[in-house]
Amino acid sequence: MTCAAPAPGATAGAELAGRHIVLGLSGGIACYKAADLTRELVKAGATVQVVMTAAAEAFITPVTLQALSNRPVFTSQWDARPDNNMAHIGLSREADAVLIAPASADFMAKLVQGRADDLLSLLCLARPLERVPLLVAPAMNREMWSHPATQRNVAQLRADGATVLGPGAGDQACGEVGDGRMLEPAELRDALIAFFQPKLLAGRRVLITAGPTFEPIDPVRGITNHSSGKMGFAIARAAAEAGAEVTLVAGPVHLPTPAGVRRLNVQSAQQMFDAVLPLAPQHGLFVATAAVADWRPAALAGEKIKKTAEQRVPTLSLTENPDILAAVARLPAGQRPWCVGFAAESHDLLRHAREKRERKGVPLLVGNIGPATFGQDDNALLLVDAQGAVELPRAPKLTLARALVAEIARRLANAPTFPSPT
């Protein structure tokens, strides 16, 4: 057995370590969120240089952003602090990315037109396009967002290479409800982290199962397990960050859907089987992280089973559930995705993982000790293939998910064949 460390740069809580972000604020009530966004980016390890327009200063003070970023805030293209008096050049050359949050309708129009009448628009125009990406987080009233002029500008921004984050939908400061809210600070932080992740699965379609299944006994009871779904959801997030188109089939868990992931909710093993099998041929990679119940009651009681004087302990007859991973692995060539299985064991992990990999007929089996990981935020993984086993030592689940995605991508690149999605 050999050991491998998680992917470089994946330390929990420091996903933006070494990144220098120019955070630009244009005018809008969503400027209040920029304070929390600055904190989130700094906590994630980034250095943050805030640049504000005059309109932004009407909503939040530079003093607030300076205190949170620990750096002087720039507001004017005539700022004399840079040695050459060219703040728009120095600020843009130092950046790993420019993030405009909030990006008002007016400021996006400026970007599209190439106008540069303030420091923020000037540095956006002066940034080196090939190495300093531009991300914008729109924030405006729903009518302003849906206006054809705004939609034309958003389309042009994307065509010019900018990444548009959001907007979200919900209650607006004006009292209306709809599209146009700036994404929340944590969402923007995660979007920026995802932006910098290597796109190792770009162009791939990935199908993932996660969580437990619930097998009903009667209308109020059922058979399930302790799986929280956290590992599977972390893998779905990591795969989406890596550029894949991800479909997640989730058992009964209360976890937010990772950004950019299509989610299908199911309850029982049969429902998961019925959801997965038609989708599998449309995907090039299948990752079966779900802890699927092996058995279910042979008959579902129509009413709650009651204790009686004659029968205080009922007898349950069980029947076997369909084997989702094995069924996908047996699909015909051309329809069969590259399969990764998971095994949650209580003991003898390596032996059981090897046996399960051979039994299921999959190229890679990922094992873990279930009682040590169910419900936890960290985990340790054992990757088992025909050549042997590789250990990913205990780390946060998202860190492990990114390392696993990198390992899968490496194996896919070296695989003799890779089924094309249909």
Domain of residue 407, CATH code: 3.40.50.10300
Q: Which helix (H) or strand (E) holds 152?
A: helix 148-159
Domain closes at, from 164, 196, 228: 196
CATH of the domain at 49: 3.40.50.1950
In a domain, 13, yes or no: yes
Q: Is 322 annotated as a binding-site member?
A: yes
How many structural domains does the chain have?
2
Q: Tell me, yes or no, whether 173 and 271 share the same domain.
A: no
Do the strands 177-181 and 168-171 form a parallel or antiparallel pair, or are they unpaired? antiparallel
In a shared domain, residues 234 and 140: no
Same domain, 280 and 187: no
Residues 18 and 123 in one domain: yes
Q: Is residue 310 part of a domain?
A: no
Whether 257 and 326 map to the same domain: the answer is yes
Q: Is 273 annotated as a binding residue?
A: no
pLDDT at 202: 93
Q: Are residue 49 and residue 100 in the same domain, yes or no? A: yes
Same domain, 211 and 186: no
Query: Are 147 and 280 members of one domain?
Result: no
Q: State how beta strands 134-138 and 364-369 pair.
A: unpaired
Measured CA to CA, the distance from residue 263 to residue 272 in angstroms comes to 12
d(CA 37, CA 53): 17
Residue type, 334: G
196, 231, 256 - which closes a domain: 196
Cβ atoms of residues 239 and 199 within 8 Å? no
Shared domain check, 285 and 234: yes
Global pTM reads 0.86
Q: How far apart are CA 49 and CA 280, in angstroms?
A: 45
Q: Is 325 annotated as a binding residue?
A: yes
Q: Is residue 23 part of a domain?
A: yes
Give yes or no: residues 111 and 213 share one domain: no
- Largest pairwise CA distance in the chain: 93
| Final residue of a structural domain among 139, 165, 196 | 196
Distance CA 2, CA 13 (A): 27
Is 3 a residue of the active site? Answer: no
Among residues 282, 288, 238, 227, the alpha carbon closest in space to that of 261 is found at 238
Q: What pLDDT is recorded for position 38?
A: 97
Q: Is 316 exposed, middle or buried (0-12, 13-18, 19+ CB in 10 A)?
A: middle
Residue 67 structural domain: 2-196
**DSSP-assigned states of every residue in 221-276:** EEE-----SHHHHHHHHHHHHTT-EEEEEE-S---PPPTT-EEEE--SHHHHHHHH
Out of 3, 31, 124, 174, pick the active-site residue: 174
The answer to the question of residue 57 being in a domain is yes
Task: Tell whether 304 is covered by a domain.
Answer: no
Q: Are residues 102 and 242 in the same domain?
A: no
Tell me whether residue 342 is annotated as binding.
yes
Alpha carbons within 13 A on the beta-carbon side of 230: 16
Tokens standing for 211? 């969580």
Residue 370: per-residue pLDDT? 62
196 is in an annotated binding site: no
Q: What is the pLDDT along the chain (422 residues), one digit of tens a residue?
A: 344 434 333 344 689 999 999 999 999 999 999 999 999 999 999 999 999 999 999 999 999 999 999 999 999 887 778 767 777 777 888 899 999 999 999 999 999 999 999 999 999 999 999 999 999 999 999 999 999 999 999 999 999 999 999 999 888 888 888 889 999 999 999 999 999 999 999 999 999 999 999 999 888 888 898 888 999 999 999 999 999 999 999 999 999 999 999 999 999 999 999 999 999 999 999 999 999 998 888 878 877 878 777 777 778 888 889 999 999 999 998 899 999 998 876 777 888 888 888 888 899 999 886 666 666 778 888 899 888 888 888 899 999 999 999 999 999 987 754 444 33
Residue 306 annotated as binding? no
Q: Was 294 annotated as part of a binding site?
A: yes
Decide: helix, strand or coil at residue 174. Answer: coil
